[in-house]
Amino acid sequence: MILVDFSGTLAKHREVVGRLFSEIEFTFFTEKGFTGTEDDLRNAFREVNRKLRAKENKQGDFTMMAGEELGLDITSEDAISKEKMFDEKYAQTIEPLDGALEGLRKLLEVDDLVLLTNGACRRVIPAVEQLGFEGFFKQIICLGGTGQNKSQGELFEKMRKMGAWAIIGDNPRKDGMSEKYNITFVDVRVGWGTTVSLVKGLTEEKLRLRG
């Protein structure tokens, strides 16, 4: 089983989030009374993310907590509505990473693929469907809102027992945590063509060891 990350691995996540942050997040909080800069808001978001990362949470909780952090009065209804808008725009405008589609096709010839992401399913699954990637995956595992994330590491022990032997990702600190659990990290930043070759090389090495 090969694990595949989503943001920055299959999709150009940073570009879309950066644009939507200005168009939706900053506009929303400014209308609620926030008077700081976009950087100030990003810093507040980082603090909220740090607090929520290891806790179970539902849609709207992030925005509500950000409002509390900034001393703003935000209703649950407004928070949920804004987050739904963000997720919809994200799915509508997300673009695939160069070579990702062909890379997935070739990897299916090697082993089953499982999408493993720190993102929330309510955002990731519509985006995966928009990109036409859903048919490649035996399973989609979204950690967003569960209180778990890849950087905790222990999750990879479970994945290894399920048969995972490699993960393709773009973050050595998070995705690369797999190495401690005998799941090889393949850094997609070398390009999808090279990534596929590296994974196939790992398969050949496994067969040699078995032989």
Mean pLDDT for the chain?
92
* pLDDT(126) > 70: yes
Domain boundary among 93, 115, 147: 93
* pLDDT(209) > 60: no
What's the pLDDT tens digit per position in 43-82? Answer: 999 999 888 877 888 899 999 999 999 999 999 999 999 9
For residues 72 and 103, membership in a common domain is answered with no
Other Cβ atoms within 10 Å of 141 Cβ, number? 17
For residues 143 and 172, membership in a common domain is answered with yes
Domain that holds residue 180: 2-12+96-210
Q: Rg of the chain over CA atoms, in angstroms?
A: 19
What's the pLDDT tens digit per position in 77-101? Answer: 999 999 999 999 999 999 999 999 9
Check: CB of residue 159 under 8 Å from CB of residue 153: no
Question: Structurally, how many domains does the chain consist of?
Answer: 2
CATH number at residue 121: 3.40.50.1000
What's the pLDDT tens digit per position in 12-36? Answer: 998 999 999 999 999 999 999 999 9
pTM, two decimal places: 0.89
Alpha carbon distance 109, 6 (integer Å): 20
